Structure 1
C-alpha cells in the first residue's frame, strides 16, 4: 500500500479497547518522530514506522491515513510535549512579565535546540522538500501554533497595561526569532562551539530585554 493512500477508516467510539488504541497511537507518534529524524521524510516509510512502534502497518494507516498526516501529527505532538499550552495559558499570580517571558524563552530554546529538532530543521530546508507542501504543513502544526498561543498571552498583558503593541502577530514572530538568534543558526550549520548554560541564559535574557525595550510600557 503506497503512503499516499488513505485508509478511510473512522476511529471507533470509546469502549473497552479504547485505552489500548491510545497507547498504540502514542507508540506510533514516538516511532514516527524517531524515524523522521533519523531518515528524513522521504527515507522514513510507513513500514519502518510500524515496525519501530511494534504495530502493523494497517494500524498506522487506521490512525493517521497517510505519511503526510502522520508527519504533521508527529510535529504537533513534539511541540505540544515540549511547549504545552499551559505554559502560555496559566498565569502565576503576580509573576512579573519579564520572568514570564524568560520562562517561555527557555522552554522554546530547549525545544528548538534538541538534536532531533535541529535535524528536522535541516530536513525541511533540503532541496527535496523545497517544492512540497511539507514545510507549510510543518509550520502550521508547530511554529504557527506556538506563535498564536504566545500572541494570546501578549494580548492579555496588553489589556493589563504592561505592553504596547500595534501588531501582536508580528511581535510574537519577532520574539521567537530573537530567542533563536545566532546560537540556533550556528547549531543548524554545525559550526559552533557549545555556548554552555551561562552563555545561553545570557542570550535569552538579552533577547527578552530587547523585546521589552521595544514593546514594554515603562512607568515612572
Structure 2
C-alpha cells in the first residue's frame, strides 16, 4: 500500500488530488498511532489541514478513508490480470507470474503489513476494518482471479475445476505462511528475485494441478 505524500500548499483546493493525498497520509498516520477505534476524523482532518466538512465530502466516513487506502492497493495488484491475453498455457503462466509478483510486491510492504496487523488487533472491537479489507481488498482480487481462470477454461487451457478454488490454490501456493510470518515480525520481506521465484513456482504448480 503506497500512502500518498501530502502537499499542504494545495490541500485546500476543492476536489484536488493533493487534498485527498493529504487526508490519506494523515489517516494512515493516525490509524497507526491510535488504532481504528481510537482514530477520529477530527484528528485526521486537523493533521491534513482540511476541515471535517472537506474530509466527509471526499470520503464520507472514516471507513470510507480506509476503503480508499485499501482499494488503491487492490487495484494495483489486479492490473496484470486485467490486461492479460491468454492464447495458450505459456501466456497463462506468464500472466499468473506477473500477477503473483504484483501481489507479493504490494502485500509485503511495511504499510500493508501494518494495516493487516491493525485488522487483527481490532478484531472484536470494530468490524469496519475487517469488512473493508474483505470487500475492498480480497474480494476484488478473488473475482479477478476467478475471471482469469474462467477464461482459461473456456479456451481449453485448464480442466473443469472450480475457478474460485483455483484462485485459492494459486494464492496459497504464492504466499504460504509468508504473510503471517511478516505480521509476526519473524521474517524479512522477500527480495525482488525471491518474489519472482515464488510467483513462477506458484504459476507452474497451479497449472499442473489443473491441467486439461
Both structures adopt the same fold (TM-score exceeding 0.5): yes
Deviations, residues 14-68 of structure 1 (Å, cap 9, x unaligned): xxxxx84142334423433443345431243212322333311221122223212
Please show how residues 7-26 of structure 1 align to structure 2 within 5 Å: 20-23=14-17, 24-26=19-21
How far apart are 1:72 and its partner, in Å? 2.0
- Evaluate the alpha carbon distance shift between residue 59 and residue 136 of structure 1 in structure 2; reply closer, same or farther with a 3 A threshold: same
SS in structure 2 opposite 1:125?
helix
Q: CA RMSD in A?
A: 2.4
Aligned twin of 1:154: 149
TM-score w.r.t. length of structure 1: 0.77
Aligned twin of 2:54: 59
Query: Matched residues in 2 for 1:157 and 1:30: separation?
Result: 39
Q: 102, 111, 115: which is aligned to 1:107?
A: 102
* Runs (5+) with no aligned partner, structure 2: 1-12
Which is higher, the Rg of structure 1 or of structure 2? 1
- Evaluate the alpha carbon distance shift between residue 89 and residue 201 of structure 1 in structure 2; reply closer, same or farther with a 3 A threshold: closer
Query: Matched residues in 2 for 1:165 and 1:172: separation?
Result: 13
Does the 8 A contact of 2:85 with 2:91 survive in 1? no
- Evaluate the alpha carbon distance shift between residue 215 and residue 115 of structure 1 in structure 2; reply closer, same or farther with a 3 A threshold: same
Q: 63, 72, 87: which is aligned to 1:77?
A: 72
Please show how residues 192-207 of structure 1 align to structure 2 within 5 Å: 192-193=187-188, 195-207=190-202
How far apart are 1:206 and its partner, in Å? 1.9
Larger deviation: 46-55 or 21-30? 21-30
Query: Matched residues in 2 for 1:89 and 1:193: separation?
Result: 30
Query: Matched residues in 1 for 2:144 and 2:86: separation?
Result: 19
